[in-house]
Structure 1
Amino acid sequence: MQRLRGLVADTRPLRNDNFRRLWIAGVITMVGAQLTVVSVPAQIYDISGSSAYVGLTGLFGLIPLVVFGLWGGALADHFDRRTMMLITTSGLIGTSALFWLQAALGNANVWVLLGLFAVQQAFFAVNSPTRQAILPKLLPAEQLPAANSLTMTVFQAGAIGGPLVAGILIPVIGYEWLYLIDTLTLFATLSAVIRLPRLPVDNPIGSPGLRSVIEGFRYLRGHTVLLMSFVVDLIAMIFGMPRALFPEIAHVSFNGPDEGGLVFALLFAAIPAGAVIGGVFSGWVSRVERQGYAVIVCILVWGAAMTGFGVAVALADHWQQAMLVVALLMLVIGGAADMASAAFRTSMLQSAADDAVRGRLQGIFIVVVAGGPRVADVVHGASAAMVGTAAAAAGGGILVIVGTMVAAVAVPSFIRYRITRTPTITR
């Protein structure tokens, strides 16, 4: 029983009242957020009948994430972070309410939806680094990996269940009700934020402008361990994220229909499913002191899993059903490894960085997390056109392994990075 307790998620951070309220609110809010994530592109397609307009959500979402992610980090290093959370959460409630209003009024203008989506992503881009930057103020450093694992598990679970629920409910109750549910659930987060104590920044920056953003990059350049946490993540995502290949693999390799189907859905759900499983059994992450080494191992496992995924796709012509199981298993393993890597990397940013720059570094983190997979879509799509989907996926996994090992050898201080635990006093 004791061994099993050590395997499952470390829930010690939930003993902290402030973190527990934020986490529970996150569970509630994630349900509504995923309803909007699915409803926006669905409504755009319903209005326009064009996948090209739906594709514009990527552009209208990425640009605000990059711009306001970087600037939002600077704001989080200048103003009281509780105040920033109140403003941005209120902004998210407001934009969600406007989504409900336009649907209730029967809006038929795609650009209204895209504009609202851009504003919503801007508020999110400021909210997210602020939220991450406050955790070291609420919890001891040794509990940060567990706290991040708990948070990421909720997010990934929402990524699985939300689209399924929204897809079922859209034709039943309509877009306006889904947007309204999102609006109402956000009040749970607002309530949790209101109950936070004041969270002033240690040695706040003078002005949250472009200069402060540049200073954040300079700080990162001078702290090799933190810089490497971004580099290895980019290596993992750009070379190893094969999601752009899923439609063709589902159709060509596993004989799925053109428009999607069960195999298509399983491929997309496998990585977040692995992340959820990894989060449930994440008790071990709190016991790891050599976090840099752990990140390298996790990314090597991710690369090996993506290589195995590509090999399974290559062998699908001979053993289709068996290779589908293997391919899904490889994606699940990759998702679990990526969850652990993300938990460690986030914890390193939160504990190793000075409080005065945590917001800006979390802003850069948001940009990397959002941008890496989008670059991967382009890279894998172009590679598949030249060498095929199986070779593109397997080759990407091999490049992840090689690139990660080169980075580890080039910067040994990253592997040596470890946290110092607070001694436990027994009576």
Structure 2
Amino acid sequence: MSGSDTDTAVTPRWRRVLVDTRPLRNTAYRRLFLGQSVSFIGYQVTAVAIPVQMYAITDSSFWVGMIGLAALVPLILFGLWGGAVADAIDRRTLLLISSVVVWVATCALVVQALFGLDNAWLLLALTALQSGGFAVSGPTRSAIIPRLVSRGQVAAANTLNFTAGNFGTVVGPLLAGLILAQWSYAAAYAVDAVLFTVALYAAIRLPHLAPTGERVSPGLRAVGQGLAFIVLKPVLLMSFAVDIIAMVFAMPRALFPQVADEWYGGGEAVGWLYAAIAIGAVLAGLSSGWIGRVKRQGLALTLAVIGWGVAVAAAGLARQLWLAVALLALAGAADLVSAVYRQTILQVYAPDEMRGRMQGVFMVVVAGGPRLGDLRAGATESWFGPTVSWVGGGLVCVVLVILLTLAVPRFLRYDGSP
């Protein structure tokens, strides 16, 4: 099933700059996109409300940190397993089931807040349940996209998804702050539950998407086959490797609270730092009409990751808040471009019967990389200070990516032409 429009039609000049919206002409994809976009705003509201409620209950940053662990473990386990299941059963059915799990966990968060249970362990358990559902629904949703749109529109569809996701990353926390200031935790979780019903509706209205190719049994063997497929395909392996390098060495997020206070006088500075990368990604997405026309996607991905590292390093040298935010936004724009090409290479390069497992690995890398980056940034700051941790990480990222991609020229030559 694919879009009805041709990919070779003459494109007006202004459309070559603005985001390519042709995939939205496909009814099934449009519903999926709207469901994901609206529900992700609610998901981000909950992502803020849970830590705030946890701190209010425990008065401990340790317990707040435990939320990340509670989310990461099921994300890794169910991300890999869910990807294998997505290659074994109807993907519409799996998306619907996993979405219901997320929705039930969110409704349970509403109930515990309404009744004032104030139990830290319950919050961790519901976080893990929600994360497990998300770990299955995310890879499944991504594996569905190449079945809905033509190959020439996969990059455009991914750009729309990542742009909407970053928009939610900006709007969701701002909305959460407003709700928590004016109302309650229950109200915040209720907003998430209501918005998520749009995603449920989108899943219900999808066509049946039975597996194609060789049927697999969704067990450890299937997961191992997926990992082996990546290892034996240098292009896929490199797409993951450069992303891990970018996130582990050049993600400065863990330093934001400290530098906001020490460099920029505290106040609203920390909010601007946290929002800057997503703001840049949204702006890049809105002006991304050119992305789908790039054929040398391996080279484009490499240049985008190098741009991310350079911009992050430069931001770590800025002592004016506006300049740091601008440079982080530039880094966010580069990150959006790299994410689109990484996802597109993964979806197109792998056969349909492997796409679920590929997306499961993608989910683990995307979720785990930034968290390892937080650990790296915090540890190196304790040894060398925030400037070396921030700037040095960005420069190390650039050097490692250049050396690695030069060692695998096949990746730089990869052509994503239909």
Q: Do both share a fold (TM > 0.5)?
A: yes
Match in the other structure for 2:368: 371
Q: Tell me how far 1:171 sits from its aligned partner.
A: 3.4
Alignment match of 2:189 (pick from 179, 189, 196): 179
Match in the other structure for 2:396: 399
Give yes or no for contact 1:229–1:345 (8 Å, CA) kept in 2: yes
Q: Tell me how far 1:414 sits from its aligned partner.
A: 0.5
Q: Does 1:420 align with 2:417?
A: yes
1:39 & 1:252 partners in 2: Cα distance? 26
1:274-328 deviation per Cα after TM superposition (whole angstroms, max 9, x unaligned): 111111111111111111111001011111101211222xxx3xxxxxx322211
Give yes or no for contact 1:306–1:334 (8 Å, CA) kept in 2: yes
1:366 & 1:358 partners in 2: Cα distance? 12
Q: Does 1:264 align with 2:270?
A: yes
Match in the other structure for 1:25: 35
Match in the other structure for 1:199: 209
Match in the other structure for 1:293: 299
Match in the other structure for 1:304: 310
Q: Tell me how far 1:160 sits from its aligned partner.
A: 1.1
Helix, strand or coil: the match of 2:207?
A: coil
Give yes or no for contact 2:179–2:187 (8 Å, CA) kept in 1: no
Return 43-52 or 231-240, whichever deviates more: 43-52
Give yes or no for contact 1:290–1:415 (8 Å, CA) kept in 2: yes
Match in the other structure for 2:331: 334
Alignment match of 1:349 (pick from 346, 364, 367): 346
Alignment of 1:375-386 (within 5 A): 375-386=372-383
Match in the other structure for 1:98: 108
Helix, strand or coil: the match of 2:218?
A: coil
Give yes or no for contact 1:81–1:199 (8 Å, CA) kept in 2: yes
Return 374-383 or 67-76, whichever deviates more: 374-383
Q: Does 1:280 align with 2:286?
A: yes
Query: Aligned AA for 1:107?
Result: L
Return 264-273 or 36-45, whichever deviates more: 36-45
Helix, strand or coil: the match of 1:38?
A: helix
Over 6 Å off, 4+ runs? none
Query: Aligned AA for 2:293?
Result: R
Structure 2: 5+ residue runs without aligned partners? 1-10
Alignment of 1:6-405 (within 5 A): 6-256=16-266, 261-312=267-318, 316=319, 323-405=320-402
1:382 & 1:42 partners in 2: Cα distance? 24
1:166 & 1:10 partners in 2: Cα distance? 30
1:13 & 1:206 partners in 2: Cα distance? 30
1:331-363 deviation per Cα after TM superposition (whole angstroms, max 9, x unaligned): 000000000100010011101101111111111
Q: Tell me how far 1:94 sits from its aligned partner.
A: 1.1
The percentage of counterpart residues that share the same residue type is 44
Give yes or no for contact 2:139–2:360 (8 Å, CA) kept in 1: yes
1:160 & 1:395 partners in 2: Cα distance? 27
Q: Tell me how far 1:2 sits from its aligned partner.
A: 4.3
Give yes or no for contact 1:205–1:212 (8 Å, CA) kept in 2: no
Give yes or no for contact 2:41–2:169 (8 Å, CA) kept in 1: no
Give yes or no for contact 1:79–1:204 (8 Å, CA) kept in 2: no
Change (3 A) 1:351 1:395: same
1:44-85 deviation per Cα after TM superposition (whole angstroms, max 9, x unaligned): 112222221111101000001011001111111111101101
1:41 & 1:116 partners in 2: Cα distance? 13
Query: Aligned AA for 2:328?
Result: L
Give yes or no for contact 2:72–2:367 (8 Å, CA) kept in 1: yes
Give yes or no for contact 1:45–1:54 (8 Å, CA) kept in 2: yes
Please report the RMSD computed on the Cα atoms of aligned residues, expressed in angstroms: 1.3
Q: Tell me how far 1:204 sits from its aligned partner.
A: 4.4
Helix, strand or coil: the match of 2:324?
A: helix
Match in the other structure for 1:424: none
Q: Tell me how far 1:107 sits from its aligned partner.
A: 1.0
Change (3 A) 1:204 1:117: farther
Helix, strand or coil: the match of 1:63?
A: helix
1:354 & 1:95 partners in 2: Cα distance? 33
Return 12-21 or 98-107, whichever deviates more: 98-107
Query: Aligned AA for 1:336?
Result: A
Q: Tell me how far 1:177 sits from its aligned partner.
A: 2.0
Query: Aligned AA for 1:346?
Result: Q
Query: Aligned AA for 2:273?
Result: L
2:321 & 2:96 partners in 1: Cα distance? 46
